[in-house]
Amino acid sequence: MSRNLLAQVAIAEIPKILTLMDRNPHSSTYGCCDRNFWQYKIIDFPSGMAQEFALPLSLVYSLNLPNNPFYQQPDLRAWVKASLTFAAQNSHPDGSCDDYFPFERASGAAAFSLFACIESYRLLKLNDDGILEFFEKRADWLAKHRESGRLANHEALIVLCLQLLRDLLKTSKWDRVRARRLERLLSWQSSEGWFQEYGGFDPGYHTLTISCLALLQDLQPNDTLKKVLLKAVQLASEFIHPDGSYGGEYGSRNTYNFFPHGFELVGRWYPDALSINDTFLKGVAMGKLPCYADDHIVGHHVWNYLLAWKDFVPHRPPNKPRPTGRIWLQQAGILIDRRQDVELYLALNKGGVFKLFRHSQILASDTQISVQVKQGKRLQNAVGHLIGNYDISLTENTIYIRGNLGWSKQTQMTPLKLITLRIVTLSIGRFFPNLIRSILQKILITGNQKAPFEFARQMDWQNGQWQITDQLKAKSWKSVHSVGIGSHQTSIYVVMSRVFQEGQLQPWLDLTHRVKTLGEGQALMVTRSL
pLDDT digits (tens, 9 = 90+) for 94-123: 999 999 888 889 999 999 999 999 999 999
- State the pLDDT at residue 482: 95
Q: Which has more confidence, 171 or 198?
A: 171
- State the pLDDT at residue 441: 63
| H-helix segments, 90-128 | 107-123
- State the pLDDT at residue 150: 85
- Name which of 236, 242, 272, 278 is nearest 257 in CA terms: 236
Instruction: Measure Cα distances from 513 to 108, 381, 451, 480 in Å.
Output: 45, 18, 21, 11
- State the pLDDT at residue 147: 84
pLDDT digits (tens, 9 = 90+) for 359-386: 999 999 999 999 999 988 889 999 999 8
Tell me if 109 sits within 8 A of 92, measured CB to CB: no
Q: Where are the domains of the chain?
A: 2-310, 326-409+445-529
Beta bridge partners of 465: 462
Lowest mean pLDDT among 123-127, 287-291, 419-423: 419-423
For the chain, percent of residues with pLDDT exceeding 90: 82
- State the pLDDT at residue 422: 79
In SS3 terms, 150-187 reads as CEHHHHHHHHHHHHHHHHHHCCCCCHHHHHHHHHHHHC
CA distance 100 to 102: 7
Longest dimension (CA), the chain: 76
Dihedral pair phi/psi, residue 162, rounded to 5°: -65, -35
- State the pLDDT at residue 33: 98
* CATH code, 2-310: 1.50.10.10
Confidence of residue 447 (pLDDT cuts 50, 70, 90): low
Q: What is the CA radius of gyration of the chain?
A: 24
Per-residue pLDDT for 475 more than 90?
A: no
CA distance 285 to 112: 28
Mean pLDDT of 159-181: 97
DSSP at 316 = -
Model confidence, pTM: 0.94
Beta bridge partners of 59: none
Per-residue pLDDT for 429 more than 90?
A: no
Residue type present at position 470: D
At 294, is the secondary structure helix, strand, or coil?
coil
